[in-house]
Amino acid sequence: MSSASSAQQNSRRAESKLIETRSIDYIPESERHGSVFSQFTLWFGGNLQITAIVTGALTVVLGGDVVWSLTGLLVGQIIGAGIMALHAVQGPRLGLPQMITCRTQFGVYGAVIPLVLVCVMYIGFSASGTVLAGQALAHLASISDRAGIVAFGLIIIVVAALGYRLIHGLGKVASVVGVLTFIYLFFRLLLENDVGALLSNSHFSLSMFLLAMSLSSSWQIAFCPYVSDYSRYLPRNVSAGKTFAAVFAGTALGTQLSMTLGVVAAALAGKAFSGNEVGYIVGLGSTGTMALVLYFAICFGKITFTTLNAYGSFMSLTTIVCGFRKTATITRAGRITFIICMVAISCAIAILSEPSFLKSFTQFLLFLLAFFVPWSAMNLMDYYFITRGHIDIPALSNPDGRYKRWNLAGIGTYAVGVLIQLPFISNGFYSGSLVYLFDGNDISWIIGWIFTALCWLLVNRQSKAVRLEATIFPEG
């Protein structure tokens, strides 16, 4: 049998497996499968969900009008989705999950710094989504909200444990369910309300515009630490341009649709929306049966998104543990244990924080930017302009190898990138001394990304480290 035929058979066997066996280890070419279109459906379907609706609604709840809220959200969407899609391109080229690649900038042990923060982010996003999904599931099954949260957590554990293929399959189904649901919801809003009157009420406010832009860009940038986790099984020679376009279009279009619905719904509902997000959206159903359908759609839409966070937390925690164990694999029992722990913590936070969800989630979204913008800037500059995509993959698991235990230059640049943002941060956790220059708004992510990118390029220009001419793969 020819080697080509053998590779094709191996690929078909890998594609037919429902339970994923890989973790943070390199995906050999013989196991690559899937199409670029699956990237579009995953991110499009994953973003057609209730948390994105609530995030869009925040721009109106906090004082913005409809027109400039939608404009600010769209601008932030384009910026954030562009950054995110650039990260996605790394998956097929390297066959690795996203966060293990930061060992090239931080060192094998030093990568723990951004990884711990990423795990905190995953838990926070999972908790916020579980609140809303738990409420919907509780209404659907006639149980308490707490029981709904726990039941939803159990579903996430099963899906995340099964892994990559099931997640992409859910993305396809979620796209169909989401589109049908959103068509219905928009139809109800347009049919029963004078949306034209809302659109005519346009009063520009720099403060509200920047808030909308920050909310949508932070939504997209928050995906960056795990976006290539879901593109790493694509064939290595898949077009980078097509991968970028599929991810960009899917995440930008899906999120903008959800946030637009949130903006319009919040503007029409007024004070009735805040604190009753799920109830108001479901109330758009004209019959009891349709309300149940909407509760189901909300639950199903959150399964994809929350699974992304649970799966990503497993990958990040595995990267931390395996870095110190000098390995790139983990047992199936370890995999399930990590997932259960992360989901359990998220459920606990969801149960405790439910009454103050909306305010806490806003603060969380804006605060996390300070820690992930510098990492994103360093990772992209490193991949596209410094190493030019050439990585010694076996060395990523060797603390005594090319990337060392701790890369002090990378850690120092990251720390400076976080610190430079402090005067411009404005949220419930911290307010910087220079936020008054921008009407009290948080524009730290713009300053942090540009400054860190330039700083990392300068640091590496002065470095005498030998550059690789090609990527070194484990298979030869």
DSSP of 346-388: HHHHHHHHGGGHHHHHHHHHHHHHHHHHHHHHHHHHIIIIIST
**Residue 472 bridge partners (DSSP):** 392
Distance CA 99, CA 23 (A): 12
**Residue 55 covered by a domain:** yes
DSSP label of 226: G
What angle is formed at CA 151 by the lines to CA 150 and CA 155, rounded to 5 degrees?
A: 115
**357 half-sphere exposure, CB direction, 13 A CA radius:** 26
Inter-residue long-range contacts of 270-278, CB under 8 Å, 24+ positions, other chains counted: 273/57, 273/61, 274/57, 274/61, 274/358, 275/358, 277/50, 277/53, 277/54, 277/57, 277/132, 277/358, 278/50, 278/132, 278/135, 278/136, 278/139
**Residue 18 covered by a domain:** no
Q: Which residues of 141-152 are buried (b: 16+ CB within 10 A; e: fewer)?
A: eeeebeebbbbb
Contacts of 289 (CB under 8 A, 6+ apart): none
**Residue 22 covered by a domain:** no
Give, in order, the Cα–Cα distances in Å from 29 to each of 1, 229, 237, 473: 18, 16, 10, 10
**Residue 5 covered by a domain:** no
Q: Which residues of 399-436 are buried (b: 16+ CB within 10 A; e: fewer)?
A: beebbbebbebbbebbebbbebbeebbbbeeeebeebe
Q: Look-up: residue for tokens 């992930």?
A: 372
Contacts of 390 (CB under 8 A, 6+ apart): 467, 468, 469, 470, 471
* Residue 223 · residue 51 · CB < 8 Å: no
DSSP label of 462: S
* Residue 403 · residue 396 · CB < 8 Å: yes
* Residue 150 · residue 344 · CB < 8 Å: no
CATH number for the domain that contains residue 456: 1.10.4160.10
* Residue 435 · residue 442 · CB < 8 Å: yes
* Residue 226 · residue 82 · CB < 8 Å: no
Distance CA 107, CA 112 (A): 9
Q: What is the largest CA-CA distance in the chain?
A: 70
Predicted model pTM: 0.87
Of the candidates 362, 386, 343, the residue with the CA atom closest to the CA atom of residue 219: 362
Q: What is the residue range of 39's domain?
A: 32-461
**Residue 41 covered by a domain:** yes
**Residue 10 covered by a domain:** no
Token pair, residue 220, equals 């997209």
**Residue 6 covered by a domain:** no
**Residue 426 bridge partners (DSSP):** 431
Give the total number of structural domains in the chain.
1
Distance CA 169, CA 31 (A): 17
3-state helix, strand, coil in the chain (%, to 5): 75, 0, 25
**215 half-sphere exposure, CB direction, 13 A CA radius:** 35
Exposure of 187 by Cβ count < 10 A (0-12 exposed, 13-18 middle, 19+ buried)?
Answer: exposed
Q: Give average pLDDT by consecutive 10-residue segment, the chain, 476 residues.
A: 47 54 82 90 88 86 88 96 96 91 93 87 79 82 88 88 79 82 81 75 83 90 90 93 97 94 84 70 70 78 81 81 76 82 86 64 68 92 93 91 93 95 81 81 87 95 83 78
Of the candidates 259, 201, 222, 219, the residue with the CA atom closest to the CA atom of residue 58: 259
Q: Look-up: residue for tokens 């892994």?
A: 163
Of the candidates 350, 302, 221, 357, the residue with the CA atom closest to the CA atom of residue 49: 302
Q: What is the pLDDT of residue 127?
A: 81
Distance CA 11, CA 29 (A): 8
**Residue 431 bridge partners (DSSP):** 426
**Residue 81 covered by a domain:** yes
